[in-house]
Copies of this chain bind each other. A is one copy, B any other.
């Protein structure tokens, strides 16, 4: 029998994920800080909880999908917080992108209550969340991971297990820094192309035909050609993830020269007003630095 699920966080990512769980026949109770966001899901059959605490008290598994470490903290703590509602043997799965250290702390707090915890951040944005084709990166006890695989299989196309708590979060930093470097590298290539007189559309078509082609480049190509940088993945979030990756690297004594160089360009982009633009706007910052804007 399917476990009942309590879902916290109905942002851009949370909404389609809950829809997929409902469509798959799960009994879902939702909580969101702004209650109005929950209404459409109640119409589709979800129940509504008025606090993380009361939500925890009525479901088998709690899943959180919030914006950052501070938001998770806010969900956990306080009189009506999750920690006051969980019971021994219950599972909490955090699918947000937060610092590995914050994941380990949440795991420890929940463990004190006898509850199990998985950090299970995802790679992929709104489209794969809608299509149920996210990539899910899990850290925590292996038995818990295996127990909840059916849920992950509804939300994603592929789930990877990376070991103890915090390792899902670590894997997320690794994939996101690679994403950021890919955008930086593509943008530097396009700037060199622009400065040496190569047609941008032809260049991007060429990239798509070579061994460097990747879904992220294909996805961003129309935006770049249209000079349209409305955020699918906000540049400031990538700047933050670069920062988290470099913090983890510093602690682990990993030397990452190109990541550090890319991060400084993202900081420059943020300082020049592109924090709320899409990550593809790193191209705009590099064009400024080369006198093209």
Which one, B194, B205, B212, contacts A160 given CB within 8 A? Answer: B205
Which one, B137, B179, B192, contacts A256 given CB within 8 A? Answer: B192
Complex copy number for this chain? 4
A48 to chain B, nearest CB (A): 34
| Residue-wise interface mask of A (60-98) relative to B, using a CB-CB cutoff of 8 A (1 in contact, 0 not) | 000000000000000000000000000000000000000
Q: Which chain A residues numbered 197 to 256 have a C-beta less than 8 Å away from chain B?
A: 197-199, 202-203, 205-207, 209-216, 219, 239, 243, 245-246, 248-250, 252-256
Compute how far the CA of A54 lies from the CA of B190 in the bound complex, rounded to whole angstroms. Answer: 42
Cross-chain pairs A/B with CB under 8 angstroms, 14 sampled: A135-B209, A173-B192, A174-B190, A175-B210, A178-B207, A188-B254, A192-B249, A196-B252, A213-B214, A239-B250, A255-B268, A255-B286, A256-B264, A261-B261
Residues of B within 8 A of A207 (CB): 175, 178
Most chain B CB atoms below 10 A, which of A191, A207, A271: A271
| Residue-wise interface mask of A (248-278) relative to B, using a CB-CB cutoff of 8 A (1 in contact, 0 not) | 1110111111111111110110111100000
Residue of B nearest to A164 (CB): B197
A142 contacts B by Cβ under 8 Å: no
A165 to chain B, nearest CB (A): 12
The answer to whether A188 touches B198, judged by C-beta atoms less than 8 angstroms apart, is no
The answer to whether B195 touches A253, judged by C-beta atoms less than 8 angstroms apart, is yes
The answer to whether A123 touches B210, judged by C-beta atoms less than 8 angstroms apart, is yes
| Residue-wise interface mask of A (159-202) relative to B, using a CB-CB cutoff of 8 A (1 in contact, 0 not) | 01111000100110111011101101110111111111111001
State whether A198 and B163 are in contact (beta carbons under 8 Å apart), knowing that A177-B188, A243-B250, A267-B249 are contacts in the complex. Answer: yes
Q: How many residues of A contact B (CB 8 A)?
A: 83
Compute how far the CA of A252 lies from the CA of B196 in the bound complex, rounded to whole angstroms. Answer: 6
The answer to whether B252 touches A203, judged by C-beta atoms less than 8 angstroms apart, is no
Compute how far the CA of A173 lies from the CA of B206 in the bound complex, rounded to whole angstroms. Answer: 12
Compute how far the CA of A111 lies from the CA of B211 in the bound complex, rounded to whole angstroms. Answer: 34
A158 contacts B by Cβ under 8 Å: yes
The answer to whether A254 touches B123, judged by C-beta atoms less than 8 angstroms apart, is no
Residue of B nearest to A214 (CB): B214
Residues of B within 8 A of A9 (CB): none
A65 to chain B, nearest CB (A): 18
Which one, B173, B185, B260, B286, contacts A185 given CB within 8 A? Answer: B185
The answer to whether A209 touches B171, judged by C-beta atoms less than 8 angstroms apart, is no
A291 contacts B by Cβ under 8 Å: yes
In order of increasing CB-CB distance, the 5 nearest A-B pairs are A181-B185, A271-B291, A195-B252, A255-B268, A253-B271
Compute how far the CA of A265 lies from the CA of B260 in the bound complex, rounded to whole angstroms. Answer: 11
State whether A257 and B261 are in contact (beta carbons under 8 Å apart), knowing that A171-B203, A211-B216, A219-B211 are contacts in the complex. Answer: yes
